[in-house]
Chains A and B, each alone.
Chain A
Amino acid sequence: MIERKVIVGHRLGLHARAAARVVQLSSQYQSAISLLRDDLGNRVEADARSILSILLLAAAQGSALVVRADGTDEGEAVDCICEYLKG
């Protein structure tokens, strides 16, 4: 399992188009992928293949997320998702 921190660079945050792209990218990998956000001490977790849960993260531009992947291709998956989230 790998975790990596990333700052959301998209101007509108993880809005509909960006969230849709994350789902599409995540679907290319075998690994389970999730996005985690620290919300006032509560960790909110979203399945990177669920557009509804990503939108519910409400990650605005500049917010910090942790990308976590677990599986055979976890390294590539985390690289790819983090690269995209940086904007």
Chain B
Amino acid sequence: MASAGVAIGRAIRTFDPLMISYNFHIPQSETGKEVARFRASVEKSRRQLERMQAELRQSRIPESSFLVDAHLLILQDKLFVDRIVETIQDRAVNTEWAIQQVSEELYAAYDRLQDDYLRERRGDLEDIVRRMLHNLRSKSSSTLPVLPYDAVLVGKTISPSTLFELRANRVAGIVTESGSPLSHTAIVARSLGLPAVMGIHDLSDIAPGEILIVNGTRGMVICSPDPSTVREYRQRMKPTRSPLRPRDVHIPAVTQDGIRISLGTNINFSEEARSAVENGTEFIGLYRTEFDFFREGGKPSEEELMAQYSRVLKTVRPAPVTFRTIDVGSDWNSRDGSGSSLASRGLRFSLENQDVFKLQLRALFRSSRNGRMRILLPFVSTIADLDAAMDIIAGVKRDLSRHKNAFDKEVPVGVMIETPAAAHTCDLMASRVDFFCLGTNDLIQYYLVVDRSDQSAAHLYNPFHPAILRCLHQVYTLLQYSGRPVTVCGEMAADPAAAAVLLGLGFTSLSVSLSAYPRMKEAIGSLSVGRLRELAGEIMKMESPKDVEDRVRSTIA
């Protein structure tokens, strides 16, 4: 499942995945206000363009100012402006939606033209539309308008950072065409506790404003449900969050037979550190830094990153925070959620883009004295890559020392075991690093040859597959006497049955998403490691994933 739980709300469609805007109906009585809002955005765009035009006229290329003339003329064009006003009034829609409707009609007209040069003029219109949508976002350009009702966000694709931006804004659930339970958008949805259904074939039939029930647990969306269904669901929507009472959250996770399990939290955004601490987390087992790194779309400065990292460290100290260096190439930033080439995933990207890698490392080390930092390298697949990364780290440290920068010289560096290659060679890596994390999401997908953005293959992804059990067992055995601690931080650790397998295999440190944290703390309290050891011996001989899973679930029930 993409993200469990049930949400009821009205459908809101996202327009441009890069230029987030909402489309929704407004009350007829509000259309006057909406038209005024539209006119204000036209005015603002006009002032910006006039400034740009004045600058161009003073520049070395004054003749290029005519390009701005065309944009300014579009802003006073009846075909554009008057039609948008009419659309707002007649169809009672918000400005963003009206702009979208009118511009799409015009785009279609341009696309029908025979003349290549003129057909390309639609670019002018696209520029204006983008400028206006940007200007329509409320005062500070990074906030979105407040939604008028509980909403279900519907889109072809919704990026993890969009989702995060929307967290406080009455978004109750999400439905997307692309993405799967293993995509980063789903991971973020789960950490925000937002019910989500992904991989729906065609969403074009869902009308904005339509009531939707998102059943994330069953992977089902009900469009325009009848009132009795809504009532039934509302009753079932008893709070699923936090079975622990506030005073219980700091009690450590101990199994029935007295084994202490370290339970940490995975976070994707710096803001989540506070909630993790309030939830009673023992440490941050995985901070996926790429979401924050690329949040504003560009490259952040060293100082910005330092401020962010220092904040997280101070919030969580004295507990440690494991910062995973940026792992791009997975689906975090791609428009269609399909992900990019494996050739530049994780550490491979960092080795190819050393300026980015060094920038992040400098920011990390320079903020390291604000708490307990650990640095984790993602997607390591060869010893040579690891050595290259360690050389760069040593170089950054030398450089910082030479320039008299204060930093913690003993920051532990670790490897994320998430490729089959790393799983089988982690003993060779152990002498080079201080700790390991097991990233089961990627490990399982590469072991079982399942593409995590492909919904149709999602059923093939199975943590109970005998190959996975053997792999995990081998990693445990290879590292058992290395003196290097291992934390399991994939989704596997957040499913009580799969976590039971991990404990049975000998692992004693898990890290799970914010929303799974209370549930897992409770689940661990009901398990007995002695019993799970026996169980691990039994399931290791089984042949089918289904048998393994059934056996585990019946044992822990």
A interface residues (Cβ-Cβ under 8 A, vs B): 12-13, 15-17, 19-20, 23, 47, 49-53, 55-56, 58, 60
Partner of B70, one of A20, A47, A60: A20
A15 to B125, CA, bound (A): 14
Query: Are B67 and A52 in touch, CB under 8 angstroms?
Result: no
Q: Which residues of B contact A (CB under 8 A)?
A: 66-67, 69-70, 73-74, 77-80, 106, 109-110, 113-115, 117-118, 121, 124-125
B34 to chain A, nearest CB (A): 22
**Residues on B with beta carbons closer than 8 Å to the beta carbon of A56:** 109-110, 113
C-alpha gap A56/B70 in the complex (Å):
14
Residues of chain A contacted by B121 (CB below 8 angstroms): 15-16, 55
A23 to B80 alpha-carbon distance, docked (Å): 14
* Least Cβ–Cβ distance between A49 and chain B, in angstroms: 7
Chain B residue at minimum C-beta to C-beta distance from A56: B109
Known: A16-B70, A55-B121. A50 touches B109 (CB 8 A): no
- Known A50-B79, A56-B113, A58-B113; judge A16-B74 contact (CB<8 A): no
Q: Taking each of B73, B74, B78, B114, which has the highest tally of chain A beta carbons within 10 Å of its own beta carbon?
A: B73
A52 touches B106 (CB 8 A): yes
Contact between chains at A13 and B115 (CB < 8 Å): yes
- Measured between beta carbons, the chain B residues less than 8 angstroms from A20 are 66, 69-70, 73
CA gap between A20 and B73 in the complex, in Å? 7
Q: How far is the CA of A30 from the CA of B131 in the complex (A)?
A: 31
Chain B residues in 8 Å Cβ range of A13? 115, 117-118
Q: Which residue of A lies closest to B122 (CB)?
A: A55
- Give complex CA distance A20, B118 in Å: 13
**A15 CA / B124 CA spacing, docked (Å):** 12
Beta-carbon nearest neighbor of A27 in chain B: B76
Specify which of A17, A49, A58, A60 is in contact with B78 (CB 8 Å cutoff): A49
Q: Can you give 8 contacting A-B residue pairs, CB < 8 Å?
A: A12-B117, A15-B117, A20-B66, A23-B73, A50-B79, A52-B77, A52-B125, A53-B79
Contact B118 A47 (CB under 8 A): no
Using CB atoms, name the residue of chain A closest to B124. Answer: A16
Min distance, Cβ B253 to any Cβ of chain A, angstroms:
64
A16-B121, A47-B79 given as contacts; is B114 within 8 A of A58 (CB)?
yes
Tell me the smallest distance from the CB of B223 to a CB of chain A, in Å: 36
Cα distance, A53 to B80, chains bound together (Å): 10
Of B74, B79, B109, the most chain A CB neighbours within 10 A belong to: B79
B124 neighbours in A (Cβ, 8 Å): 16
A53 to B69, CA, bound (A): 16
Enumerate chain B residues within 8 angstroms of A12, measured Cβ to Cβ. Answer: 117
Q: How far is the CB of A34 from chain B (nearest CB, A)?
A: 12
B77, B113, B114: the one contacting A51 at CB < 8 Å is B77
Taking A23-B73, A52-B106, A55-B121 as known contacts, 4 extra A-B pairs with beta carbons closer than 8 A to each other, sorted by chain A number, are A15-B121, A50-B79, A52-B74, A52-B79
Q: Which 4 A-B pairs have the closest CB atoms?
A: A51-B73, A52-B79, A50-B79, A20-B69
Bound-state CA distance A13–B114 (Å) is 13
Question: Would you give the shortest CB distance from B22 to chain A, in whole angstroms?
Answer: 26
Best-surrounded residue of A12, A13, A17, A52 (most CB of chain B within 10 A):
A52
How many angstroms from the CA of A60 to the CA of B106 in the assembled complex? 20
Q: In the complex, are the beta carbons of A51 and B70 less than 8 A apart?
A: yes
* Most chain A Cβ neighbours within 10 Å, of B78, B80, B115, B125: B115
A10 to B106, CA, bound (A): 24
Write the nearest CB–CB distance from B272 to chain A, whole angstroms: 46
Closest to B83 in A: A52
- Closest B residue by C-beta to A51: B73
> Are A17 and B79 touching (Cβ within 8 A)?
no
Give A41 to B188 CA distance when docked, in angstroms.
Answer: 57
- Interchain nearest-CB distance for A30 vs B (Å): 16
| Chain A contacts for B125, CB-based, 8 A | 52
**Whole-angstrom distance from the CB of B110 to the nearest CB of chain A?**
7
Contact B66 A17 (CB under 8 A): yes
Q: State A25–B78 Cα separation when bound (angstroms).
A: 16
B66, B77, B110: which contacts A16 (Cβ < 8 A)? B66
Interfacial chain B residues near A55, Cβ < 8 Å: 110, 118, 121
Contact present for A58 and B115 (CB under 8 Å):
yes
Chain A nearest CB from B355 CB (Å) reads: 39
Shortest distance in angstroms between B118's beta carbon and chain A's nearest beta carbon?
Answer: 5
Known: A15-B118, A20-B73, A60-B115. A52 touches B80 (CB 8 A): yes
Contact of B67 among A16, A23, A58, A60 (CB under 8 A): A16
Looking at A12, A20, A51, which has the most chain B CB atoms within 10 Å of its CB? A51
Minimal Cβ-Cβ distance residue in B for A60: B115
Q: Is the CB of A50 within 8 A of B77?
A: yes
Chain B residues near A47 (CB-CB < 8 A)? 78-79
